[in-house]
């Protein structure tokens, strides 16, 4: 691949981050880290959405200015992603001055082009969605289906974007690019929504929404969320409406993958393509709409008291590194489907996969190498076998799943390789070979396992970067090797490790050693 550019949705900062936000960022980071293993030019963008009526109301209720609320909560998102090892290249805030100026220019260009016009309007407005809804969008009780609240009737003169002008072009693009919307079953939802699409409001009267980007030449209007928020994907790269864009924009646009929640797919698959078409810019290659995360099979809700912060799981289980939570969340659901978090399942899954199967495999193999051969790999131990062939096939399989953004499925292939390697150890019983003084055969078995462990370290790295690096250190392995260059023959003859350098890469959550209070 020549380049890889991935984005997340930008999070609204009227509150602190929760595990739903973390799910998207972890998922995106896992995808990003995998593709850094396959290409040299890559970029990861995330950020926060900081304008609109909800910020205005929340900040007033808390006795602070909108900017103070944005500054406080935006930092909470940054801190959370740092704690979870979300390794983005840029964090954009829509209150950034450069972003606001480009948004104003984009708006003006579309006005000058005739794609934005002023119109008096009366409609149903959901402040939770920051969107006008039609009667057909509501439940039988007249509620917003996502927020379960009755929209307010809003009547004002706003600027409207000619979404209907681009309707046919968007339909054609979706039908001729089946890979545009992932998973593919979401495409039909979008096509159904396009049937009765109308022009959309892209400004609000400042008398109602004062916290926003002002419309150039019209002090009575603020630019509404969609032109403002969606444009972050190009303003962050240095897009310039006058044609003098930064090199990042030239290098990375269009985006390779834009990761979003299924609830905002409409805005990204209809509004966003139309805006890009109006600007004569290419569309992103893939829109990946992930599902939601429930808590103990219940939707997260403040009223239920089941909203979990991103780092509270790590604190509750006394975990020093975020890898267990990263692994659990990234594998919580098949591509595009909903997933669930529960404490018991979390503990059971990460103990089984990361501690018992993978971590213990490395630890006991290295320990036997030290016990029987003083940590040395002898030349006669190096040979090809079916296990190493399976490892190379697993690389191909994992790459295939990532190409289709099947992140859970890719992890299953990795764990299958771990399980196959454990079975290889059990079947060949190197401890028995040593007891029978079949030392060369014993050394071959151990070396084969360690060669495969280098592959496992590379493959698990996107999910568990800290664990993978700890594995690589004990194997004297370069974790930065591109996947295409792995040959499963990295470990050479010579001294590999001493006893004092063998350490568990991940302790079981319920292990006495893992409990800080017992240390």
Q: Catalytic: 250?
A: no
Residue 39 a catalytic site member: no
DSSP 74-141: HHHHHHHHHHTT---SEEEETT-HHHHHHHHHHHHHHHHHTSEEEEEEEEEEETTTTEEE-GGGS-TT
Pairing of strands 4-8, 257-261: parallel
Closest by Cα among 19, 516, 81, 86 to 317 = 516
Beta pairing, strands 293-295 & 286-290: unpaired
Catalytic residue (one of 18, 42, 266, 399): 18
Residues 473 and 343: their CA atoms lie apart, in Å, by: 31
Q: Show the 3-state SS of 433-446.
A: HHHCCCHHHHHHHH
Cα 261 to Cα 63: distance, rounded to the nearest angstrom: 31
- Which tokens hold the place of 380? 């006669």
Numbers of helices and strands, H then E, in the chain:
20, 18
Distance between CA atoms of residues 317 and 319, nearest Å: 6
Q: Which of 51, 78, 144, 401 is catalytic?
A: 144
Q: Is 85 noted as a catalytic residue in this protein?
A: no
* Cα 290–chain centre separation: 9
- Residue whose C-alpha is closest to residue 477's, from 504, 450, 509: 450
Catalytically annotated residue among 70, 126, 335, 442? 126
Q: Is 99 a catalytic residue?
A: no
Question: Rounded CA gap, 199 and 158, in Å?
Answer: 12
Q: Which residue among the candidates 51, 70, 129, 286 is catalytic per the annotation?
A: 129
- In whole angstroms, give the CA distance from residue 509 to residue 224: 47
Backbone angles phi, psi at 221, to 5 degrees: -130, 140
464 among known catalytic residues: no
> Is 144 considered catalytic here?
yes
CA angle 72/223/202 to nearest 5° reads: 125
Our answer to whether residue 129 is catalytic in this structure is: yes
Taking every pair of C-alpha atoms in the chain, what is the biggest distance, in angstroms?
90
Which residue out of 67, 119, 147, 149 is catalytically annotated? 147
Half-sphere exposure of 258 (CA within 13 A, CB side): 26
Q: For the purposes of burial, counting CB atoms within 10 Å of the CB of 277, is it exposed (0-12), middle (13-18) or buried (19 or more)?
A: middle
| Set 67, 119, 299, 435: catalytic member | 299
Q: Which two tokens stand for residue 261?
A: 């929640």
What is the C-alpha separation between 223 and 110, in angstroms, rounded? 12
> E strands, 366-428, where?
376-377
CA angle 223, 255, 406 (to 5 degrees): 120
Contacts of 88 (CB under 8 A, 6+ apart): 29, 44, 45, 46, 81
Of the residues 136, 302, 516, 519, which is catalytic? 302
Q: Which residues are catalytic?
A: 18, 21, 126, 129, 144, 147, 299, 302
């Amino acid at each position: 691949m020549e380049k890889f550019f991935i984005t997340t949705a930008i999070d609204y900062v009227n509150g602190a981050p929760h595990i739903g936000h973390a799910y998207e960022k972890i998922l995106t980071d896992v995808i990003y880290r995998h593709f850094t293993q396959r290409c040299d030019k890559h970029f990861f963008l995330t950020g926060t959405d900081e304008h609109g009526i909800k910020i205005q109301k929340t900040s007033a209720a808390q006795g602070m200015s909108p900017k103070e609320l944005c500054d406080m909560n935006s930092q909470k998102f940054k801190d959370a992603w740092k704690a979870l090892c979300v390794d983005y290249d840029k964090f954009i805030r829509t209150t950034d001055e450069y972003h606001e100026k480009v948004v104003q220019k984009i708006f003006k260009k579309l006005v000058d082009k005739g794609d934005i016009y002023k119109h008096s309007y009366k409609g149903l407005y959901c402040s939770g969605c920051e969107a006008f809804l039609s009667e057909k969008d509501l439940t039988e009780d007249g509620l917003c289906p996502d927020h379960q609240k009755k929209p307010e009737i809003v009547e004002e003169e706003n600027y409207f974007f000619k979404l209907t002008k681009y309707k046919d072009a968007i339909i054609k693009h979706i039908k001729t690019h089946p890979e545009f919307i992932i998973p593919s079953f979401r495409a039909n939802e979008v096509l159904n929504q396009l049937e009765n699409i109308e022009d959309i409001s892209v400004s609000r009267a400042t008398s109602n929404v004062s916290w926003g980007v002002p419309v150039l030449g019209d002090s009575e209007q603020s630019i509404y969320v969609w032109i403002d928020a969606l444009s972050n994907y190009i303003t962050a790269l240095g897009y310039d409406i006058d044609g003098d864009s930064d090199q990042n924009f030239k290098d990375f646009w269009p985006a390779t993958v834009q990761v979003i929640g299924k609830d905002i797919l409409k805005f990204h698959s209809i509004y966003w393509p139309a805006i890009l078409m109006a600007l004569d810019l290419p569309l992103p290659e893939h829109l990946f709409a992930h599902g939601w995360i429930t808590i103990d099979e219940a939707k997260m809700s403040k009223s239920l008291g089941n909203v979990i912060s991103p780092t509270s799981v790590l604190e509750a289980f006394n975990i020093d590194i975020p890898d267990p939570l990263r692994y659990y969340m990234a594998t919580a659901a098949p591509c595009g489907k909903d997933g669930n978090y529960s404490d018991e399942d979390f503990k059971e899954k990460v103990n089984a996969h990361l501690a018992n199967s993978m971590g213990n495999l490395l630890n006991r193999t290295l320990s036997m190498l030290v016990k029987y051969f003083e940590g040395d790999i002898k030349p006669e131990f190096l040979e090809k076998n079916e296990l190493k062939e399976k490892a190379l096939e697993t690389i191909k399989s994992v790459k295939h799943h990532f190409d289709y953004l099947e992140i859970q499925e890719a992890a299953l292939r990795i764990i299958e390789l771990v399980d196959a390697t454990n079975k290889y150890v059990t079947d060949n019983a190197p401890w028995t070979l040593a007891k029978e003084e079949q030392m060369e055969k014993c050394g071959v078995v151990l070396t084969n396992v360690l060669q495969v462990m280098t592959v496992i370290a590379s493959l698990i790295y996107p999910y568990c970067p800290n664990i993978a690096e700890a594995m690589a250190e004990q194997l004297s392995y370069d974790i930065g090797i591109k996947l295409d260059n792995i040959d499963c023959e990295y470990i050479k003859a010579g001294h590999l490790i001493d006893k004092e350098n063998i350490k568990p890469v991940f302790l079981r959550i319920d292990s006495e050693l893992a409990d800080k209070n017992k240390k």
